[in-house]
Chain A
Amino acid sequence: MGRYIFKRVLYMIPVLLGVMLIIFTMLYLTPGDPVRMMLGDDADEAAIAQLRSELGLDEPYLAQFINYVKKIVMKLDFGVSYVTGRPVIEEIMSRYPTTLILATVSTLVAIAMAIPLGILSAIYQNSWIDNISRIVALVGVSMPNFWQGLLMILLFSVNLKWFPASGFTTPAHWILPALTIGTSGAAAIMRTTRSSMLEVIRQDYVRTARAKGAPEGIVIWKHALRNALIPVLTIVGIRFGASLAGSIVSEQVFSIPGLGKLMVDSIRNRNYPVIQGGVLLIALAYSIINLIVDILYAFVDPRIKSQYSAKKRVKYAGKEGQGSVG
């Protein structure tokens, strides 16, 4: 298993290099001369040429790319923000914890709502619980985040005054945005849990568990749920990965200084170094989440695990009653 994880981490290198190549090339091909933009239109040619060679911009494409990668790998240098003049890494890192908290809390909210409801829905298929959960899920998935966010602000901040309407400084600030992002995720996760569970509880091994006299709780939790978890893990992973890129709409509605807002602002200002750094970070986060999901698969399903690791037989200590028959 350890070897598998190590191998997977190594695989992330070409993925990230590929991402760097794409972003770098896009920027390289973007019309406009960054040096002229920095120095202004009336700068003299000698100064422009000097700055260009200082920045390495007179070198060929490949050399520039290698230089770009080198700077990132050796010094974590993603360049400097055109707007604030601060290093991109600082700019992003000042926003990232907020996004990380929001993503984690909203995913937890989604899981906490979705998985129990999905299981109940499947067990009591076509009952009132199932119908209500499905309607709630439908509403959750169809309601746009900005609208849901505004409604929540109206109800919980303006009328009830329970939670603050904007900002992201205390845990009380987390609740409304996390609920807003969480419910749309919950709808998808709930539907996946339900359908996966429905499939699993019809399997022969669930009938075997019942035939052994297993109490219903054990049938569901021990025998069915673990088998139903694989597609659920996949969708949770995708949702979590997506929310790590920042939730642009919700951050806007709740005025949260997260990565999504930074990216949108940077795109608006053509602040290329920040966009580059941000995209790279999002790609990295996605790769890591993917890796975690894959590792979790192996823990949930021994058949997947045995594909990864060399066969290892664990000896059982007790050797009583070793009669051989047949």
Chain B
Amino acid sequence: MLSIRELYIHYITDEGIVKAVNGVSFDVQEGETVGLVGETGAGKTTTALGVMRLVPNPPGRIISGDILLNGESLLGLTEAQMRKIRGEKIAMIFQDPMTSLNPVLTVGDQIAEVVRFHNKKTSRADAFKKAAEMLGTVGIDPDRMDEYPHQFSGGMKQRVGIAIALTCNPGLLIADEPTTALDVTIQAQVLNLMVKLKKEFNTSMLLITHDLGVVADVCDKVAIMYAGEIVEFGAVPDVYRNTGHPYTIGLFGSIPDVKKKVKRLSPIQGLMPDPVDLPAGCSFEPRCQVATAECKTLKPRVGEISPGHMVKCTHHWREANHGHSS
């Protein structure tokens, strides 16, 4: 389905080159849900925008690598060809429903126009009929077609966002922290709706989040992103039960345990490195508990610690390639 190969995306600014995405590779298979997890600034959204080829340029630029959709390279397409992909083959749900709908257009219009972008012959009336149907599908009364976004609550707006994304029945849905801006009770509703519709529409999904709990509930595979790199990738049970990368271990360690009484949470010490000035060796080395001298200089390589479970860490790579079991 979607295959990202050695993708590099940089923002070229006056203050320096912000290396947002550095050699990201992973696949999303047909029908699969892949979670992309990482802290703020790890490059998750930039990766997603890269797939849509919507990285704001200037200052952003896809430096190298490739993005393949069903074997076809998206980076080689013209802008006009790419427009046919956006919204029809790959659709995106954005983080903040408050700002991602156009305030001066009715929600009906905003859904209906997607139909007409991708099927020029569809009449206005048919497009609006489809829009009404989509509103119904996401649980909004189709009578509210002619209302404007400000007349909807946050959760409702995100439902409209989902309706827009699914209108053309895309093969791949990219959801960029779709529930982060919503309140907790609504988060679960919206997430359940997405999972349900994903099955109904038979789409693959790339779910960007920083919530490991959501990933465990929803995703088949998970990619852990740190400083623009995928540091660990694998099936959810593998990554959760047989965690490899020290960063992932730290992430799980920082989740408070409801059964234990602790005075303080145990965060990962330190901060993510400045993407303008990344460490020469492993990006995680300054915060890593198990770092050795060579981590300072040696770029880590990807080791497969069990089938399909990749970890980008020098120690694991050595173990994997020298037959020591982990």
Contact = CB atoms under 8 A, between A and B. Distances in A.
B199 interface: no
Interface string B111-142: 00110011000000000110011101111011
Contact of B113 (A212, A302, A303): A212
B104 A210 contact: no
Interface in B143-174: 143-148, 150-151, 159, 161, 164
Interface of B: 52, 54, 56, 83-88, 91-92, 94, 96, 99-105, 108, 113-114, 117-118, 128-129, 132-134, 136-139, 141-148, 150-151, 159, 161, 164, 189-190, 192-193, 196-197
B142 A318 contact: yes
Nearest to B89: A213
Given A213-B114, A223-B102, A326-B139, A320 B148 contact: no
A44 interface: no
Interface in A215-236: 215, 218, 222-223, 226-227
A266 to B, nearest CB: 45
Given A213-B114, A316-B132, A326-B193, A302 B103 contact: yes
Contact of B103 (A207, A212, A301): A301
Contact of A326 (B52, B88, B189): B189
Interface residues on A, range: 35 or more
Contacts of B137: 321, 323, 325
A211 B103 contact: no
A199 to B, nearest CB: 13
A75 B161 CA distance: 60
Contacts of A319: 132, 142-143
Given A205-B102, A318-B132, A303 B148 contact: yes
Interface of A: 202-205, 207-215, 218, 222-223, 226-227, 300-303, 306, 313-316, 318-326
A211 B86 contact: yes
A303 B150 CA distance: 7
A301 B193 CA distance: 31
B86 A213 contact: yes
Nearest to B79: A216
